[in-house]
Amino acid sequence: MFEISERLRRLPPYLFAEIDEMKKRKEEEGVKVIDFGVGDPDIPTPKHIVDAMKKAVEKPENHRYPSYEGLLEFRRAVAEFYERRKGVKLDPEREVISLIGSKEGIAHLPLAFVNDGDYVLVPDPGYPVYYSSTLLADGIPYKVPLKKENGFLPDFESIPDEVAKKAKIMFLNYPNNPTSAVAEKDFIKEAIDFCKDRGIILAHDFAYGEITFDGYRAKSFLEVDGAFEVCIEFNSLSKTFNMTGWRIGFAVGNEEILKGLLKVKTNVDSGVFQAVQEAAIVALTGSYECIEENCRIYQERRDVLVRGLRELGLEVEKPKATFYVWCEVPEGYDSMGFAKKLLEEAGILVTPGLGFGEYGEGFVRFALTRDVKTIEEAIERLKNIEL
Q: CB of 196 within 8 A of CB of 229?
A: yes
Instruction: List 201's β-bridge partners, or say none.
Output: 169
φ/ψ of 87, rounded to 5, equals 70, 20
Q: Give residue 204's Cα distance to chain centre.
A: 10
Angle at CA of residue 253, ends 176 and 57, nearest 5°: 85
**CB neighbours of residue 220 within 10 Å:** 21
φ/ψ of 169, rounded to 5, equals -140, 145
In terms of DSSP H, where are the helices of the chain? 6-9, 16-28, 47-57, 72-86, 102-113, 128-136, 161-165, 185-198, 227-230, 255-268, 274-285, 289-311, 335-346, 372-383
Note the pLDDT of residue 22. 80
Note the pLDDT of residue 19. 75
Task: Report the alpha-carbon distance of residue 92 to residue 294 in Å, rounded.
Answer: 27
Residue type, 21: E
What are the structural domains, with CATH classification, of the chain? 6-44+290-383 (3.90.1150.10), 47-285 (3.40.640.10)
Note the pLDDT of residue 49. 98
What is the DSSP code (8-state) at residue 385?
S
Asked if the peptide bond before residue 125 counts as cis, ω within 30 degrees of 0, the response is yes
Please list the ranges in the chain whose pLDDT falls under 70: 14-16
Note the pLDDT of residue 80. 98
Sign of CA dihedral 150, 156, 158, 163: positive
Note the pLDDT of residue 21. 83
**CB neighbours of residue 341 within 10 Å:** 17
End-to-end CA distance of the chain: 48
**CB neighbours of residue 245 within 10 Å:** 11
Q: Give residue 239's Cα distance to chain centre.
A: 9
Task: Report the alpha-carbon distance of residue 110 to residue 5 in Å, rounded.
Answer: 18
Cβ neighbours for 336, distance < 8 A, ≥ 6 positions apart:
15, 19, 352, 354
In the three-class reduction of DSSP (H, G, I as helix; E, B as strand; rest coil), residue 98 is classed as strand
- Written as one string, the DSSP assignment of 63-80 is GS---SS--HHHHHHHHH
Cβ neighbours for 177, distance < 8 A, ≥ 6 positions apart:
39, 126, 127, 207, 208, 322, 324
What is the DSSP code (8-state) at residue 177?
T
pLDDT tens for each residue of 45-100:
999 999 999 999 999 999 999 999 999 999 999 999 999 999 999 999 999 999 99
Q: CB of 144 within 8 A of CB of 123?
A: yes
Note the pLDDT of residue 38. 83
Asked if the peptide bond before residue 178 counts as cis, ω within 30 degrees of 0, the response is yes
Q: CB of 129 within 8 A of CB of 136?
A: no
CA atoms in the 13 A half-sphere facing the CB of 49: 25
